[in-house]
Amino acid sequence: MMCALPLLDGRVDLWYALPETITDIAILDRYRALLTPEETAESQRFAFERDRHRFLVRRALVRAVLSAYTGNDPGAWVFRRNEYGKPEVAEPVGMTLRFNLSHTAGLVVCAVTSGRDVGVDVEALERQPADLERQPADLERQPADLDVARRYFAPAEIATLERLPEQRRQEVFFQFWTLKEAYIKARGMGLSIPLDDFALTLSEDRPPAISFAAGCDGDPDEWQFAQIRLQGRYQVAIAIRLPGPSRLTVRLRQTTPLVSEGEWLPLP
């Protein structure tokens, strides 16, 4: 893998991998060798092999990606979680790199930036039967309907969905959902931030914008967002704490961690 890639302030590099295409036993053994004992134990707690496999690729992805910008050995990274569960680099100390991970059936993504709070979320637009097997608390995989929106979304977002024809509602639901998830992940506080405390506005000719309910902690001018339709069937959203006049730029790269990389693609 190429080492010491440049990472500019205000740019997010989005790396993605397709777990189902990574089946070579030798490659998977390399990935397993990178896991800490704690990660190995976490992997073994998944009930389904597909989830263990996705976890393995996800952990290899973040190590390979971070090493691409630093030249560090992929096995040297040590991670910790904050009090809300967000992963961050513990060692090597002094890293300015920030990252965030997301996954869904068939896809894992890693967003990387320099010195900025960043969050990423992905959702498969065309659900497969396997995607519907979920834990009761897994909100990300609830059916995309107005009942869910009315429980969790801000009034302006609910009104937007109610005005849409039914055939467009699921697509826009997932745009809102991934943007909201990306924002709370960038904040590093998860669902301790009520999803109806803030609202996203969608526009055909401008990036999404955020607003906050009265009395809520947040400055709309501090945040920028991007949306990506990946591989035709995945909705991806990125949130970054980046006050103007700097403008967010995003580029994409497919990878098989520690094996091969595609070309950089700018966000259209």
**Residues 257/61, Cβ–Cβ less than 8 Å:** yes
Residue 149 has pLDDT above 70, yes or no: yes
Judged against a pLDDT cut of 70, whether residue 248 lies above it is answered with yes
- Bond before 268 cis per omega within 30 degrees: no
Q: 115: number of CA atoms within 13 Å, CB side?
A: 7
Task: Spell out the domains of the chain, with CATH numbers in brackets.
Answer: 11-132+139-266 (3.90.470.20)
pLDDT-based confidence at 8, cuts 50/70/90? confident
DSSP state of 48: S
For residues 11 and 21, give the distance between their C-alpha atoms in angstroms, rounded to a whole number.
28
Percent of the chain exceeding pLDDT 90 equals 76
Which phi and psi (to 5°) does residue 239 adopt? -125, 140
The span from the CA of 115 to the CA of 9, in Å, is 7
What pLDDT does 126 receive?
A: 75
- Residue 93, pLDDT above cutoff 90: no
- The average pLDDT across 92-116 equals 94
Query: What local confidence, expressed as pLDDT, does residue 95 receive?
Result: 85
Instruction: Count other Cβ atoms within 10 Å, centred on residue 218.
Output: 16
Task: Give the pLDDT confidence score for residue 141 in this predicted structure.
Answer: 45
The tokens describing 267, both together, are 């966000």
pLDDT at 136 over 70: no
Return the half-sphere exposure (C-beta side, CA atoms, 13 A cut-off) of residue 27: 17
In the structure, what pLDDT confidence band is assigned to residue 31 with cuts at 50, 70 and 90?
very high
pLDDT of residue 130: 32
For the chain, what is the mean pLDDT?
90
Q: Give pLDDT, residue 131.
A: 42
Go through the chain and tell me how many residues it has. Answer: 268
Q: What percent of the chain has pLDDT over 70?
A: 91
Asked if the model's pLDDT at residue 256 lies above 70, the reply is yes
Q: What is the pLDDT of residue 134?
A: 46
Residue 242 has pLDDT above 90, yes or no: yes
Residues 225-232: what's their mean pLDDT? Answer: 95
- At 152-189, the pLDDT tens digits run 999 999 999 999 998 899 899 999 999 999 999 999 98
In the chain, the DSSP E strands lie at 11-17, 78-81, 87-91, 97-104, 107-114, 118-124, 198-201, 209-212, 223-230, 234-241, 249-256, 260-261, 265-266
- Mean pLDDT, residues 236-252 taken together: 95
In the predicted structure, residue 1 carries a pLDDT above the cut 50: no
